[in-house]
Structure formats: C-alpha cells, structure tokens
Structure 1
Amino acid sequence: MDSDAFTGDFANAADQYTFDSISGASSALQQHWSTYYTESDIQALAATGLNALRIPIGYWAYNNTGTPYLTGADAYLDQAITWARAAGMYVWVDCHGSPGSQNGFDNSGHAGSVDWQTDANLAASIAVLETMAKKYGAMEYADVVVGLEMTNEPISYGNNQFSVTQSWAQKAYSSVKAVIENPSLVVVMHDAFQGATAWTNVASTLIGDGKKTFGIDTHLYQLYTDADNALTQAEHITEACNWATDLALANAVMPTYVGEFSAATNVCVNPDGTTTAGTTCAVTGCQCQSADFDDLNAAMVKQMRMFVEAQLDVFEGSARKF
C-alpha cells in the first residue's frame, strides 16, 4: 500500500504476494516496517486531537502456510499499539487481506482473481480471526484495542455473493466473540460496498444482548464513479451532507464507522473561485486537484477544506466515534 517500497528490484511487483516472492524481500520489508511510521508519527496524530488509529494487517501475518507471504508484520502492529496506548489513542485492528483475496485489489495483498468465497478460504479467514481475537481481545489490550475488523472491502459481484458475505460475517462474528475476553470489543465488518443500512437486519440478529458489539465500517469516497466525477465542489459537499441520513439510520441500530474517506475530488478551481468537474482546464490561472499536492494553491486548498469540514460534520453528527 506504500508505492515508495515498490522500487528497484521490486518495481514490477503488483502486490505483496509478488513482492514477497522476490529475492531480498525480507530485508526490504524489515526496512519498510521499521521506518514507515514511528512513535513520533503517532504522537503527532494524537496532538491534533485524533483519538483512534485503524491499522491494516494481512492475514498472512498470522498464517502464511502455502503462500510466498513473509511473516513479521504483527510485531510492528504490536509496537504501534504500545505507542498508541502511551499517546492515549485507541486502535482498531483491521484484517485488510483475507485468504483467497476478498476483492482482487492490491490492497488485499493479492491482485487478480477473487477466490475468497470458497469453503476452505472462508474457514481459513475465520481461523485467522480467532487467532487475532484471542490476542487482541484479551483484557490486557482492553484499554487500547477497541475494534477488530473481520475483512476489508469484500466486493459483491463476480465470484463474491453478498448473501454469502453476510452469512459468513455472522458466523465469523460468533466465532470471534466466543474467544475474546474483552466484552466491549467491537467486531467490525465492512459493508461490502452495499451501504451500512444493508446490514441492519444482520445487526439486529447479532446484537440481541443489547451490547451492540457488531459494527459496520463504510468507506465514503467521491472519486470512482462517472456520476461523482461530473460534480462541482459545491455538489460534492451536498452529496457529503446527504450521507447523514443513512449513517444515522444505521448507527441507531449498530455502531457505524466511516473507516475511510478522502479530501480528494476530481475538480478544478477557476481564478474567480468557481469550480468545474474534471482533471484538466484551459482557463488561465485555473488549477485542478490532479496537480502535485505540494503545488496546490490557496483557492484549491480552500475548496478541499470545505469538503473535508462538511464530511467531518456529518461523521461527527451521524456516525459512531471511539
């Protein structure tokens, strides 16, 4: 997930699966793990007022049998948890890559085919989660680890059926809850790109104890559809404000979190402050957000800030916080 690591001998690696197959990967990973974030980074985040970190890790950190994946990332996760505790921050541990790849994206660890919903891979996913839950759901972590995400961004098309994802989530939740000690740990499921409200029936089944420890993670971007990429910045802000209704409906039933969002939109800002959709413009003095981040002018920064503030207002008012 860090393009800076994919250089030199690893320039042609498409994901961690291929990266780890290349000679020298072990030392390259150690270099990456030990430098990508430091305690000072976590202290700086805490100083801004942020109080929680969602930290991704691949399933292979706990079981890499039959794969080229290299283990060792969990030691750095543990270090980050220690630093977060010292900084007064919470941690949400996110199983970002699942056996067979839940989405075929590079962020799952293995780009290409999606084979997650085989019986063997679904069972292997639960087995890994049980290992993670026994550790991070122990009372010794109760003051700092507040969530465990079962899988990140499973797709709901192709080889994945949403009904299977929902059935698996219920089984995985029950398996995880059976082995954790911390009764307050929220077991989180990504919404599988169906929206948080698509999970309220599942949540109602699982949280009959009233503790509401089944949560949903929804990722809200305005970058990846033709409809979004046709909007002005004012229209992007309106769309963000409209997220409030569904978030509030879902959050009334189950903890609903926005685990990912972005400041990015494909807009351009004209010298008069108006915005247009797109990644290029011909007006003198116009700038598009596709420009180098370090070169963004004050007008673009203002537009980005308004979009971010609108999102944060919605999330603070309608979604769950740690």
Structure 2
Amino acid sequence: MLVDCIPAGTSTKPTSTPTKSISASGNVLKANHPASSTPTYSSSNSTTSPAQNQSPGFLRGVNIGGWLILEPWMNSDVISGTGAADEFTFSQNVPDAESRLQNHWQSYFTEADVQKLSATGINAIRIPIGFWAFDNSNTPYIKGADAYLEKAIGWARNAGVKVWVDLHGLPGSQNGFDHSGHAGAVDWQKGNNIQWSIDILKTVAAKYGAQQYADTVVGLELVNEPISWGDNNVDTTKQFAKDAYNAVKAAAANQNLVVIMHDAFLGPSSWTAFPGQLNSGRRFGVDTHLYQIFTDADKSLNQDQHIKKACGWSSDLASANKVMPTFVGEFSGATVICVNPDGSTTAGESCSTPGCQCQSASVDSWNDNMIAQIRKYVEAQLDVFEQNSSGYFFWSFKAPWAWDFFEGINKGFIPNPVTSRKYPNQCGYS
C-alpha cells in the first residue's frame, strides 16, 4: 500500500498551536530498559549477510523537533508576539533574534533529555537542522545551530544513543512549509539551489561522516519532505537523490553511514530501484512519514479504523525493507477522535454523548478511556514498525498534545519501556 500523498498546500504538521503545550522539563521517567537484545536492521527481512550489513541495529527513536529549526506551533515561547511565520522571517525581522535563538538552543533540549529518552528504551534521535547552520550566505538566517548539534552528538554518545542528522531545510525550501525554515514559495529546484544543497551535504558528510563520529552518527538524511507537486519535479528530485548520495559517499570516511532519502510522499516502494542503481547495498535508505490526521479521509475514521489502517502499513514497509533500510522517520499518537464513556470512539473534534471526551481537549484533562485509545493506536504502530521496518522516530520529544513523547510516557499513552505492550497482537503479531 502506498502512503497517502499530502495534497498541495497542506503542512505535514499542525500550522497552529493546539490547546495546551506541555513542557517535558523536570519530568522523571522510569529507568526501565528492554529486556531483549537489539536486533539488526530488519532482522527477519534482511537480504544481506552480517559482514555486509554492519548496521547500528534497529533504531527506536524520537525526533528532536523544534530545536535547531523553529516551528511556530512548537515554539510559541520564542516566536509569539514577533509576527514571524518561520525562522527566515524571525531571523530577518526580530531585532534580538540571535539572543533569543541562543537562549532557545541552550535550554530547549539538554543532555538530561537524552538521558530521559534512553531510560525509556529509546536508542536513537533524529535531529532536524537547516542548511544555514553550515552556510547562510546571502540569507538572513543566523548561524550557530551546528555548535548545538555537536553538543547533542556528545550527549548521545555518553548515553549510548545513535544520531541521525536530518537536513530539514534546504536552499529555496523543498516544500514551502514553515518547518523547512521558509514558508511560502518552493524554489528548491530553481537556480543553483540543488547544487548548493549538494555542496552543503558534502560539508556535513565530511564532518559527521568522519571516523571519529562513526560510533554515534549512523544516518544522514539528504532532505526532509520534498513535495512531489507544484514547483518540484519528481525526476529532478530523484536525480538529486542519486547525485547527493554519491557526493555524500565520496565525502564520508565512514562507509557504514546510511544515507537516507525521504520518499517525497510517493511511498517507499517508489524508491526500491535506487539501491541497485547506486550499488549501495544497505547504505541507501528511505524515510517515510506516517500520520493519520491531515486528510479528510483520515479525519473521518474512528480509532478502531485508525488502528486497522496502521496495521495495513505492514506490506509496503516490509517489501521496501527487504530491498533497503526503510524507516518511519515521523509518526505520532495524534488522531481526530472522541471517546464515549463505554470506550467506543467516533471521528471528530466534538461530541454530544454525556461523558464523552475528544482528543482535541487539553492533555491535562484526558481521562482513562482517552489514554487507553491513544495507547492502543501507538502500540499498533510500534508493532508494525518493529516487524516490518528498520526503525522509527516519534515526532517529537516534546510538543503540544499527542505529539509529545515525554508527555506520552508520563500520561501512559506511550509504553515505558517502548518495547512493552499493554495491548499486544492488535495487528496479528504475537
């Protein structure tokens, strides 16, 4: 099954802040770890020998979103009152933008957060960062985020956690969404922006693909969520993937570094020809983002139907993962449902049954029935990913609503450790 394409003009994350944003700072998480050993990529599906596939193992990860690229719905404390729509306009128009960014970078994500993540069984973090952290020439963007990426890699190493560096924003914006750094026009494939992107990736690969980082930095994502409509041509995107892969491999001393390409909303099966073309074995991977909250069709589902749809992702993930490492780089616990007192669910953001509750309500008010329904959905997704992919990354470590990993651990809608199950066998996996 192909992943549903996101229609043009639709962001892949909320464009406005939900009712309440909960901070994870100060939360104490249980120091539990999975009892089972960590499998290799696709333990049952791998087509390569152990000698060929010296992988970092199955990645159970969390995104560090809203840290090194601002997202208004996640970073209202930084952006509120400035009139900025993204990091481009924030850097351009806010007089004290640099000091605000420095304060944000220093406090939003810390080594204590890495330790808390590790305590839940998380063994990897995906860190979004913008191109301007490495080259902000002729742009208003403020440099400095790369120093904090460096800190994060050190924190991860200390905790035994792997790092995936994600180029979340490239010159010209690959999707026009605020999380690319610049909302609006999509100019990534215009002018010199593709070559500039590759030059930046070569810089990143030369540094983080060095042997001194090989114990921790296991993946480099070429580009996050390039759209496949409007001003982006799919053939140009695929040619970029080939050229950028070859450039990264030439620049990186660590040949075990996995180079990852987002599926451009085409589904992972659309990329299965690439490993052979690139002669990369298990070193070219694909990243797909699986959400059930943005389309009208998804908004019409009750929670049982959301779970059934999640279980249905198995086939496409498994078939792609046999050919190349296939990751779910983003997913969440968010759906548009309401829960009745008897535990049954309906689609929507409002309900009239006495005692019913909708997921759109404040997280602090969620009752046991709501927590149970979100947990069922999260566990079903985790089961599918564990069985059929090479790893997953929840969006995000802290965020509003059901996007908040730490809040999920504290409230109980995410299992702790992440390999534990309260609702096993929802998708037929024992």
Query: Same fold judged by TM-score > 0.5?
Result: yes
* Aligned partner of residue 84 in structure 2, secondary structure: coil
Alignment equivalent of 2:146, drawn from 51, 57, 74: 74
- Give distance in 1, aligned partners of 2:231 and 2:289: 21
Q: Which residue of 2 aligns with 1:147?
A: 219
Gaps of 5+ in 2: 1-70, 393-430
Contact 1:149 1:188 in 2 (8 A): yes
Quote the offset at 1:9 in angstroms: 4.8
224, 239, 256: which one pairs with 2:309? 239
- How far residue 162 of structure 1 moved from its aligned partner, in angstroms, is 1.3
Aligned to 1:103: 175
Shift of 1:167: 1.0
Aligned-pair CA distance for 1:209: 4.8
> 1:272: Cα distance to partner?
1.1
Equivalent in the alignment of 2:88: 17
1:226 aligns with 2:299: no
- Residue 16 of structure 2 corresponds to none
Q: Is 1:159 paired with 2:231?
A: yes
Residue 275 (structure 2) pairs with residue 203 (structure 1): yes
CA distance, structure 2, for counterparts of residue 4 and residue 121 of structure 1:
30
Structure 2 counterpart of 1:88, which letter?
G
Aligned to 2:420: none
TM-score, length-scaled by structure 2: 0.73
Specify which of 230, 238, 247 is matched with residue 175 of structure 1: 247
- 1:267 counterpart residue number: 337
Shift of 1:293: 1.3
Matches within 5 A, 1:53-92: 53-92=125-164
Q: SS where residue 227 of structure 1 aligns?
A: helix
Q: Measured at CA, do residues 253 and 302 of structure 1 come closer, stay the same or move farther in structure 2, by a change above 3 Å?
A: same
Higher relative contact order (CA 8 A, sep 6+): 2
Aligned position for 1:94: 166
Question: Partners in 2 of 1:252 and 1:80 — Cα distance?
Answer: 32
Letter in 2 for 1:75: A
* Greater fraction of residues in helix: 1
Alpha-carbon RMSD: 1.1
Secondary structure at 1:116's aligned position in 2? coil
Q: Is the CA contact (8 Å cut-off) linking 2:126 and 2:163 kept in structure 1?
A: yes
For 2:280 and 2:192, the matched residues in 1 are separated by: 31
- Are residues 1:255 and 2:325 paired? yes
SS at match of 1:164: helix
Report what 1:321 is aligned to: 391
Q: Give the one of 162, 165, 188 matched to 1:116.
A: 188
Cα separation, 2, equivalents of 1:4 and 1:80: 23
Rounded Cα–Cα distance in structure 1 between residues aligned with 2:329 and 2:245: 19
The alpha carbon displacement at 1:91 in A equals 0.2
| SS across alignment from 2:245 | helix
Q: Given that residues 5 and 32 in structure 1 are in contact (C-alpha distance below 8 angstroms), is that contact kept between their aligned partners in structure 2?
A: no
* Cα separation, 2, equivalents of 1:172 and 1:209: 13
C-alpha distance after superposition, 1:206-229 (max 9, x if no partner):
1x253x111101000000111111
Report deviation, 1:283: 1.1
Structure 2 residue aligned with 1:135: 207
1 CA distance for matches of 2:330 and 2:191? 29
Amino acid at match of 1:41: D
Residue segments in structure 1 that go unaligned for 5+ positions in a row: none
Map Cα deviations across residues 160-184 of structure 1 (whole Å, 9 max, x no partner): 0111111110011001101100010
Matching residue's letter, 1:268: C
CA distance in 1 between partners of 2:114 and 2:101 (Å) = 20
Asked if 1 retains the 8 angstrom alpha-carbon contact of 2:214 and 2:254, the reply is: yes
Aligned to 2:115: 43
Q: Secondary structure at the match of 1:276?
A: strand
- Quick check: 288-297 or 88-97, which moved more? 288-297
In the TM superposition, structure 1's runs of 4+ consecutive aligned residues that sit over 6 Å from their partners are: none
The separation in 2 between residues aligned to 1:229 and 1:112, in whole angstroms, is 25
> Residues of 1 paired with 2:376 and 2:384: CA distance?
12
Query: Once the 2 structures are TM-superposed, how far is the Cα of residue 203 of structure 1 from its aligned partner?
Result: 2.5
Is the Cα contact below 8 Å between 2:78 and 2:100 reproduced in 1?
no
Q: Is the 8 A contact 1:166 1:202 kept in 2?
A: no
Q: Secondary structure at the match of 1:20?
A: helix
Shift of 1:284: 1.0
Query: Which TM-score applies when normalising by structure 1?
Result: 0.97
SS at match of 1:30: helix
Task: Give, in whole Å, the separation in 1 of the partners of 2:326 and 2:334.
Answer: 22
Residue identity opposite 1:291 in structure 2:
A
Say whether the 8 Å CA contact 1:218–1:260 is kept in structure 2.
yes
Residue 8 of structure 1: how far off its partner (Å): 5.1
